[in-house]
């Protein structure tokens, strides 16, 4: 084998490794064992799932099914949580089948998001409305156009937002001052609960429908036999 393709799936990344001549190998003379040794070294990186393949094989799989593994199970539905639950059940079935490699479930959840839940009664006490508060938060952290700057024939938007040192943590969101109706300044945490929660990591669609993919490679058996075994176990 001249090439080895390592896929790091925490953030989809393909690493193509050009191998030396086999007579120069020192740790092993077996291709499969070499790929496993590489995977072990990379496994210490938190949250990383690694699988080994061949560049041409992977690209061919991707052209055929849109998935880089040898076999892909696609589940369609509208509810992201249900899709993730069903995908894990399918993966558990695949793990029990001889000849099926470690299944990789497409990641759809687990992206940390800052969530703001307003206390409407407190907002009313200060004469605030959600639209104005949202605009203040958006301006402070995302930026808002406040004017236009001209440089000869070129035109640039003048964007106002907080300094980077003031928008680097979740505490900065809670400490953001909001202007009340009477002109006083109150911290956002006084009228809302600011927390960090897991949200959707990605939403993938195919033919207009949401879907999740469980992909796996074949090891030591033919594809048809492995797929039939999985279908039998799944009932």
Q: Tell me, yes or no, whether 6 and 36 share the same domain.
A: yes
Q: Tell me, yes or no, whether 127 and 95 share the same domain.
A: no
Dist CA 69 CA 223 (whole Å)? 12
> What end-to-end distance do the CA atoms of the chain give, in Å?
38
Q: Tell me, yes or no, whether 95 and 52 share the same domain.
A: no
To the nearest 10 degrees (0 to 180), the angle between helices 223-234 and 80-95 is: 120
Q: How far is CA 162 from the centre of its chain?
A: 27
Q: Tell me, yes or no, whether 185 and 133 share the same domain.
A: yes
pLDDT higher than threshold 60 for residue 12: no
Q: Tell me, yes or no, whether 55 and 91 share the same domain.
A: no
Average pLDDT over residues 204-225: 86
Q: Tell me, yes or no, whether 180 and 115 share the same domain.
A: yes
Q: Tell me, yes or no, whether 115 and 189 share the same domain.
A: yes
Confidence (pLDDT) at 1? 47
Q: What CATH number does residue 163 fall under?
A: 3.30.2090.10
Q: Tell me, yes or no, whether 193 and 229 share the same domain.
A: no
Range of the domain at 79: 73-106+202-235
* Cα–Cα–Cα angle for 44, 45, 47, rounded to 5 degrees: 115
Rg (CA), the chain: 26
Question: Total structural domains in the chain?
Answer: 3
Confidence (pLDDT) at 6? 52
Q: Tell me, yes or no, whether 29 and 140 share the same domain.
A: no
Q: Tell me, yes or no, whether 208 and 191 share the same domain.
A: no
- Read off the pLDDT of residues 43-82 as tens digits, 9 standing for 90 and up: 777 656 666 677 776 676 666 666 777 888 899 998 888 8
Confidence (pLDDT) at 119? 94
Q: Tell me, yes or no, whether 129 and 179 share the same domain.
A: yes
Q: Tell me, yes or no, whether 143 and 209 share the same domain.
A: no
- Read off the pLDDT of residues 99-155 as tens digits, 9 standing for 90 and up: 888 888 887 777 788 899 999 999 999 999 999 999 999 999 999 998 999 988 899
Nearest to 8 by CA among 34, 31, 39, 35: 39
């Amino acid at each position: 084998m001249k090439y080895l393709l390592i896929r790091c799936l925490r953030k989809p990344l393909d690493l193509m490794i050009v191998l030396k001549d086999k007579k120069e190998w020192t740790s092993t003379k077996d291709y499969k064992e070499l790929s496993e040794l590489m995977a072990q070294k990379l496994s210490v990186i938190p949250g990383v799932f690694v699988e080994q393949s061949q560049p041409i094989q992977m690209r061919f799989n991707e052209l055929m099914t849109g998935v880089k593994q040898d076999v892909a199970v696609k589940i369609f539905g509208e509810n992201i949580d249900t899709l993730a639950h069903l995908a894990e059940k399918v993966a558990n079935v695949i793990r029990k089948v001889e000849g099926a490699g470690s299944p990789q479930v497409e990641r759809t959840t687990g992206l940390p998001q800052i969530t703001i839940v307003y206390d409407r009664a407190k907002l009313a006490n200060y004469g605030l409305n959600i639209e104005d508060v949202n605009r203040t938060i958006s301006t402070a952290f995302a930026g808002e156009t406040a004017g236009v700057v001209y440089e000869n024939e070129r035109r640039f938007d003048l964007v106002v937002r907080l300094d980077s040192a003031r928008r680097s943590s979740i505490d900065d969101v809670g400490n953001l001052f909001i202007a009340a109706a009477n002109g006083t300044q109150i911290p956002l945490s006084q009228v809302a609960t600011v927390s960090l929660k897991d949200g959707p990591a990605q939403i993938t669609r195919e033919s207009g429908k949401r879907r999740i993919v469980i992909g796996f490679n074949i090891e030591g058996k033919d594809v048809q036999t492995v797929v039939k075994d999985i279908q039998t176990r799944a009932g």
